[in-house]
Amino acid sequence: MAKSIINVDGMACEHCVKAIQTAVGALSGVSSVAVDLEKKTVTVEHVPEATSLDTIKNEIEDQGYEVL
């Protein structure tokens, strides 16, 4: 299990939090998704062999947010 902290811009409200949690949480091997609006971070616990960090970043960008 890996813990990745991703810097993300464009998250503004609870809707953004939900959108990211739902989309990233649906990826296989992801066990938790925590969004910190103030710090602009998304912390993901995942099995790297199932879902890589790049896959998670792509999913966040697909949702309309900018990975920094």
**Where along the sequence are the contacts to Cu ion (CB under 5 A)?**
12-13, 15-16
Yes or no: say if 63 and 10 are a contact pair by the CB < 8 Å rule: no
Query: Between 10 and 29, whose beta carbon lies closer to Cu ion?
Result: 10
Yes or no: say if 8 and 65 are a contact pair by the CB < 8 Å rule: yes
Distance in angstroms (rounded) separating the CA atoms of residues 49 and 13: 31
Query: Between 35 and 56, whose beta carbon lies closer to Cu ion?
Result: 35
Least distance CB 42 / Cu ion (angstroms): 13
Least distance CB 17 / Cu ion (angstroms): 7
Query: Between 3 and 39, whose beta carbon lies closer to Cu ion?
Result: 39
Least distance CB 14 / Cu ion (angstroms): 7
Distance in angstroms (rounded) separating the CA atoms of residues 44 and 33: 5
